[in-house]
Amino acid sequence: MKELLVFLLLAFLSKFGSSSNSDECALFLNCAECLTADPFCGWCMGENKCSQKSHCDDSSIELLPWLSSESGKCPIITGVVPRMVERNTSRQIELTVENFPSAVENVVCAFVTLNQSAILKNATKKENVITCYVIAKLSIRTVNEPDISSTPFTFYDCTTYKSCTECTMSQFPCKWCVDSNLCTSDATEQCRNDMLVTGVTTGIRSSGATFCPKISRTTSEGNEILVPNGSKKVIKVRAHIVGSFMVQSRFLCSFIIDGRTITVNGQLLGDTIYCDAIEFSTTSTSQKTVVPFAVLVGRSKQLDNPDNIHVVICQPESCDK
């Protein structure tokens, strides 16, 4: 999963139970809606509900006030720094909260994903700033405490991108390590002395998929290379090679025909890779059979194929159609 959207919740440490009321205030499910509703309704912060004041537990009001439409202002998270963090990293997050109840000192940050229990971390409070640490691998427990405020927050994972194009075009601060064939946000640690292609989010001039090692067609005929069934052909593609180590590497061309992978040598001449001729034969009776195609560097690193260049084995009568 390339992106994990969670809700960052500020929950206070208390044991107030929840109750329900029967009036129309209960129809409003958040503080903002509640305070613009019936003037007799207010937000019962201790029970996380909209209610008349008489229906808000007196013990909860001692710590968290009942907010009326006339005098109350809902707590709201106005800033989060940083706005996103990479999964599997430990990182401090700082939240700016307006209208936070001054009586509340013990707070936690709760990270909630769909259909999962909250992940809680202790937080520190200084005036209107809440600070907590994000650690991805945590024990999970169920929390029934009310939320004071929430905001969208994103966990991302650069390692889920398996090609330079995907990596550098993502909305996250990912970088592609060419020799390591790896997408990461921490190139200093994971790709030392490696050639980097930076992502578009960096704002660097020489960034993005344009600078990725990749193949493209030698002509403007599109991404299909038509080959009559049973004939031999040399497949050639233009290559954008990054780094001298690639020029000196061995190139292989891989084709998948009828479920079988056929690998032949490729030769780099100028900016073009020529694949050794093979016979393109299929037992399929279809007029056209798609043959996936890839160019490998050193057996394991696949050059990007952003245009999805592939071979099409066609029956003689359909090759010109």
**C-alpha dihedral sign at 121, 125, 128, 131:** negative
**Beta carbons within 8 Å of 272's beta carbon, 6+ residues apart:** 218, 236, 237, 238, 239
Q: What percent of the chain has pLDDT over 70?
A: 79
For residue 100, with 0-12 CB atoms within 10 Å meaning exposed, 13-18 middle and 19 or more buried, which class applies?
buried
Residue 29 Rama label (left phi>0; alpha psi -120 to 50; beta): alpha
pLDDT for 16 equals 38
CATH classification of 215-318 is 3.30.43, yes or no? no
Domain covering 158-212: architecture: 2-Layer Sandwich (3.30)
Residue ranges, CATH 2.60.40.10, the chain:
6-155
- The DSSP code sequence of 60-120 is HHTTSPEEETTT----EEEEEESSEEETT--EEEEEEEES--TT---EEEEEE-TTSPPEE
* pLDDT, mean of residues 58-71: 76
Specify the domain boundaries for CATH 3.30.1680 within the chain.
Answer: 158-212
pLDDT in tens, 88-136: 777 788 888 888 877 777 777 777 665 566 667 677 777 777 666 554 3
Is the pLDDT assigned to residue 21 strictly greater than 50? no
Q: Structure pTM?
A: 0.66
Cα distance between residue 35 and residue 58, in whole Å: 20
Which letter does DSSP use for residue 27 in this model? G
Per-residue model confidence as pLDDT tens digits over 224-259:
899 999 999 999 999 987 666 777 788 999 999 999
Q: What is the pLDDT of residues 161-200, one digit of tens each?
A: 999 999 999 888 899 998 889 999 887 877 888 888 888 8
Under CATH, what is the fold of the domain 6-155?
A: Immunoglobulin-like (2.60.40)
